[in-house]
Structure 1
Amino acid sequence: MMELLLIGIGTGNPDHLTRAGEAAIHEADVLLIPLKGEEKRELADLRRLIVDRIRPDAPVRAFDLPVRDAERPYLDAVEAWHDAIAEAWRGAIPAGAERVALLVWGDPSLYDSTLRIAARLDPAPRLRVIPGITALQALTAAHAIPLNTVGGEVTITTGRRLRETGWPKGAETVAVMLDGATAFTTLDPEGLEIWWGAYLGMPQEILAHGPLAEMAREIPRLRSEARKDHGWIMDIYLLRRRAAVALSLHRATRLP
């Protein structure tokens, strides 16, 4: 039975790879690298850079990543897209390979479809997930903030869900991933604070923080310029009610 190694590589910084991830790269018979077109060539180059730093002679197979049909209903389009990606994997895996590795941005368990795509392979491979630094960890570290307030809850959601359903009921802290359309601009900004980051941990890292009322125009501008400069962008942000921030700080000062 083939073993599929899903190696979390953080947000693009080669140092986000763990020692367990490095060991898995050395174990692999072949490493698969997706190509997302010339515009996003830097994403494939970053994966190759990581592999070359650890195992320069590693056997690498590149494959063209299918594109999701934006005209179809979202869930139907995702299902068809995942089927197509699984088929692309099959075509890229050489016969007889016993250990196949994929380098996955962030953490394969957090709003990532790699595990769902792997479940489409037949025969089913043995799965081994090696986590790296998640985008949430990289964001909070870059801004030097905790993910939660004292004793507070955190809601993790997507830009699509935030746009469709608004602020999650009862939430004080909301982490938003996969937001290509700046869904935070659809919220009532009153009393909200945002911590945003793109290219986290990389030389081109961009950070922005402030009241949402001020940042709702600034962040889309930064995002548009960065995407134009690099051809791609990966970003994430944290939203928090300012009253919760103040209460958390007050409680923290009273802790022994």
Structure 2
Amino acid sequence: MKVRILGFGMGPQHVTPEVAEALRGCDYALAVQKGDDDSLLAVRRAVCEAHGVELVVVRDPERDRSPGLDRAGYEGAVADWYDARLTAYRDVLEERGGVAAFLVWGDPSLYDGTIRIVEELGATIDLEFDVLPGISAPQMLAARHRIVLHQVGKPVHVTTARRLRHDVTSGQNNLVVMLTSGVDLDGFEDWHIWWGANLGGVGEHLVSGRVGAVRSALVEARAKAKAEAGWVMDLFLIRAPELPLEDSDGAA
């Protein structure tokens, strides 16, 4: 049994020739369905259809979302849900065998748990796996805004919205921020932001400028992206005001 973890960017238009060849060599792709109207699953289905591969869908297990859960109860509910999802994947793999693909949004190296899931599956069933990269969201963000993410000889820090303030307090001043679900930018009014949603897909929107000047435009663009696609994936680069805006080629 073999599993191929394949990054596919934002859809069929971003599938690299390497990933396309690998996908065509798979017996099926495996994906989870979240709800009756899962528009993200529809994108995976389009990728499979473009390369003639069957998509096997498992229903995402229900998770206890009771409002009265304390921290221990919440963590237990998440653990039970995660184990149930692993079991659902394992049942399909053991029944069908062969070569299965897991299709990963963007690239598997950034804020995605598929590698960890497959490693855990491999602890209980006999399988081997490999990973092929896809076009990542930070790559798309830089391309759409025609910028370089870092300055000459300087780093860029990749983080999440939840950790943004902590990382800035720790001294980071040039950050790519992912997993936003909306973000509180109070206190960043003089920072410069390059923001994008649904990059390369339905509902793509871009906003850039000084945070204080573009916050309302950003909120409006995010709402439009969700209305147009039914979902929104957004991220941004944010840079401290004391840093120049020029990229490593000197282009503003």
TM over 0.5: yes
SS in 2 for 1:112: coil
Change (3 A) 1:168 1:108: farther
Contact 2:203 2:226 in 1 (8 A): no
SS in 1 for 2:209: strand
Matches of residues 1-256 of structure 1 in structure 2 within 5 Å?
2-12=1-11, 14-39=12-37, 41-55=38-52, 58-66=53-61, 73=71, 79-93=79-93, 95-121=95-121, 122-123=124-125, 125-162=127-164, 165=166, 167-183=168-184, 185-186=185-186, 188-246=187-245, 248=246
Q: CA deviation at 1:11?
A: 2.1
Matches of 2:191 and 2:63, distance apart in 1: 33
SS in 2 for 1:196: strand
Superimposed CA distance per residue, residues 3-43 of structure 1 (whole angstroms, 9 cap, x where no aligned partner) = 1111001123x12111111111111122113212234x221
Q: CA deviation at 1:166?
A: 5.7
Change (3 A) 1:16 1:53: same
Matches of 1:92 and 1:189, distance apart in 2: 47
Amino acid at match of 1:233: V
Change (3 A) 1:145 1:168: farther
Amino acid at match of 1:99: V
User: What's the % identity of the aligned pairs?
Assistant: 35
Contact 2:63 2:77 in 1 (8 A): yes
Contact 2:202 2:229 in 1 (8 A): no
Matches of 1:68 and 1:245, distance apart in 2: 46
Matches of 1:50 and 1:85, distance apart in 2: 22
Q: CA deviation at 1:171?
A: 1.6
Matches of 2:228 and 2:36, distance apart in 1: 14
Q: CA deviation at 1:191?
A: 2.9
- What CA RMSD, in Å, does the superposition of the two structures yield over aligned residues? 2.4
Change (3 A) 1:161 1:229: same
Change (3 A) 1:139 1:81: farther
Contact 1:196 1:235 in 2 (8 A): yes
**Which is further off, 91-100 or 101-110?**
91-100
Matches of 2:64 and 2:180, distance apart in 1: 17
SS in 2 for 1:180: coil
SS in 2 for 1:225: helix
Change (3 A) 1:252 1:105: closer
Q: CA deviation at 1:98?
A: 2.2
Amino acid at match of 1:62: V
Counting matched residue pairs gives: 243
Which segments of 5 or more consecutive residues in structure 1 lack a partner in the other structure?
A: none
Contact 2:48 2:54 in 1 (8 A): no
Matches of 1:95 and 1:240, distance apart in 2: 50
Q: CA deviation at 1:216?
A: 2.5
Q: CA deviation at 1:172?
A: 2.3
Q: CA deviation at 1:169?
A: 2.2
SS in 1 for 2:214: helix
Matches of 2:117 and 2:70, distance apart in 1: 19
Q: CA deviation at 1:215?
A: 2.3
Q: CA deviation at 1:252?
A: 5.4
Amino acid at match of 1:179: T
Change (3 A) 1:81 1:210: farther
Which segments of 5 or more consecutive residues in structure 2 lack a partner in the other structure?
A: none
Return the TM-score normalized by structure 1: 0.84
Amino acid at match of 2:243: A
Matches of 1:219 and 1:67, distance apart in 2: 33
Contact 1:5 1:99 in 2 (8 A): yes
Matches of 1:110 and 1:193, distance apart in 2: 23
